[in-house]
Homo-oligomer: A and B are copies of this chain.
Amino acid sequence: MEAGQSGRVYLVGAGPGAADLLTLRAARLLARADIVFHDALVQPDVLALAPQARLVAVGKRSGRLSTAQQFINKQLVDAARQYGCVVRLKGGDPMLFGRAQEEIDALRQAGIALEIVPGISAAFGASAEVGQSMTRRGMSRSVLFLTPAVGKGEVPHAWADATKDVDTLVLYMAGRQARDIADGLIAAGIPAHRPAMLVENASLPHQRMWPTTVGGLPDAAAQLAEGPALILVGEVYAECLPQALALPRLRHAAA
């Protein structure tokens, strides 16, 4: 780099897990990146798309080794002053539960050129595998993506107010909070027998899916391993349920 110049930072979505679910644009950027900062959850197959780059793990993972956000921000700014092409790779899409804004703001404040490349968020990878559309004519025209706020300082179940009049729900970072989620949804008036799908490691070879109901989520979640998990809730998943759980089919709007 010439004195006074800065490289460009690309904030890139790594998709749900499978390396071929990155976008063409993301893959081309990885192929020419000088340095890649990546979350802990980004798969080795994805990082292999940048064989020439220096790889720096900065990811946050609940309960594991993590890097403070301010230090990540500083690393990105420093790298842009040293390298031409800096990629910051985030699982899923950077703009949905990616905590992107802190990094965007830090780069802007430092006057670093920034581009954002979208990625496939986990719910889309999971929906493709489940084979059920999140929206459906005559049944679902609204889909809420949220993370439950559980624990210290939070009003119990207050996060669930937003779910009341929504057709389909997608809960991220949800596996370890399945009991609080089920309790919150039921407290918000969602029937315990509403169909739900628990999906772990969406799009990866070791993906697992549990068709269940809102009330059955805690039992399903007890079978989770350590992978990232999301929960889908809605009448659109009624067809995924085993016969023992399935209620009488809703009448679908004619095609």
Chain A residues in the interface with B (C-beta under 8 A): 13, 15-16, 18-25, 27-28, 69-70, 73, 93-102, 104-106, 114-121, 124-125, 127-129, 131-137, 141-147, 149, 159, 161-162, 164-167, 236, 255
Contacts and interface: CB of A to CB of B under 8 A. Distances in A.
A115 to B, nearest CB: 8
The 10 closest A-B pairs by CB, nearest first: A142-B146, A116-B128, A95-B127, A118-B124, A20-B25, A162-B165, A20-B24, A161-B165, A102-B255, A101-B133
B120 A23 contact: yes
Contacts of A132: 95, 101, 104
A147 B138 CA distance: 12
Classify the secondary structure of A's interface with B: mixed
A74 B135 CA distance: 22
Given A20-B25, A20-B28, A25-B20, A137 B102 contact: yes
A150 to B, nearest CB: 11
A19 B28 CA distance: 13
Contacts of A115: 128
Which one of A13, A145, A161 has the greatest number of beta carbons of chain B within 10 Å? A145
A141 B150 CA distance: 12
A142 B142 contact: no
A131 B108 CA distance: 11
Given A19-B24, A143-B145, A70 B255 contact: yes
Which one of A15, A159, A255 has the greatest number of beta carbons of chain B within 10 Å? A255
Which one of A20, A124, A137 has the greatest number of beta carbons of chain B within 10 Å? A124
B93 A124 contact: yes
A124 B96 contact: yes
Contacts of A105: 255
Contacts of A133: 94-96, 98-101, 104
Nearest to A135: B97
Nearest to A146: B142
A127 B121 CA distance: 13
Nearest to A124: B118
A23 B46 CA distance: 13
7 contacts: A95-B135, A96-B135, A97-B135, A101-B133, A101-B236, A114-B131, A144-B144
